Amino acid sequence: MRSSYLGLGMVVALGVAGCGPGTVTLPTPPMQAETAQLVATYQMPTGTVDTTNVQQALSDAEARLNQLQLNWLPNVISDALTGLGKRMDQTGLPTSPSTMPDTRRAQLTAVAEVNRICKGFAGSAGTPDAGTPNAPTPDGGTNGTIDLTGIVDTGKLNPEVWGTATACQTNVDASSSSQIAGAASALGVDTTLDVAIDGTLIVYLLGPFPTDLSNLQVLVTFTGTLGVEGHVASGSLDFEIVNDAVKFRIQEGGGDVIVTVGATLGIQGANGGFSCDITSTNCTRTN
């Protein structure tokens, strides 16, 4: 998959734990407690599924699915994280929150910031072509940017990465994410799309930084505006992706029920789970 952006900068502040002048003061990730609670909710849903009317939960899940922009938003997130991960690796910083520090070596503490300039809509003057020498450079003022921050605390990567999308305009091949979107293919989108994103982004790494869309492992929360082909909507959303499996929340039975998107649609509540066929709307209890 061709990258959706050109990365034009990274700033890394480094310090060695306990070495005085080189010490780095780490920022506190935004919404840290809320993110931790969200991670727990995806692991253990709090809502209950009405076993006498599972179709209502299925209907609510399909409605929410259509709001999450899963046919293109994971592409944008994967691209930005891939850029940050590459630059952290080049700087000798850990690229997975599960990597344990080597206690035989001095432990780095670092703040890594990357600025990604969006490539612009299809046909715009600043649209780069990866295969063309001396291709035009996107205009950060016209096409917008995504800025991301990651931190390494005493040799260990913090799972939270956060940033801001500022009037980011880009073109995405929606069909390239079909293996992730699963049931979202019912939206019928199989062409390239002009999309826009403007708001705050928090990503909780559930695995290493991705190398491409297929190994994206994250929990994502976003608040702001999203635009597709000129149609713009504002609000907040969250979803989880782990190696092509997509999960998101719906409100049912006094709490959050987790929906898993795939060949079938899974619904998991505190009182059990169901597998539903989207075409026939038939649901079978799984646990």
**pLDDT higher at 206 or 188:** 206
* Mean of per-residue pLDDT scores for the chain: 83
Q: Are 136 and 186 contacting, i.e. CB atoms less than 8 angstroms apart?
A: no
pLDDT tens digit sequence for 265-281: 899 999 999 998 877 87
How do the domains of the chain map onto residue ranges?
5-17+27-44+69-99+107-246
Exposed/middle/buried for 107, CB within 10 Å: 0-12, 13-18, 19+? middle
Mean pLDDT of 43-68: 91
Quote the pLDDT of residue 97: 97
Q: CB of 172 within 8 A of CB of 195? A: yes
More confident residue, 192 or 234: 234
Question: Could you tell me the pTM of the whole model?
Answer: 0.86
- Averaged pLDDT, 119-138: 60
Could you give the CA distance from residue 177 to residue 103 in angstroms, rounded to a whole number? 40
What span, in angstroms and rounded, lies between the C-alpha atoms of 269 and 253?
9
Residue 221 has pLDDT above 70, yes or no: yes
What percentage of residues in the chain have a pLDDT greater than 90?
Answer: 51
Residues in Cβ contact with 66 at an 8 Å cutoff, skipping those fewer than 6 apart: 184, 187
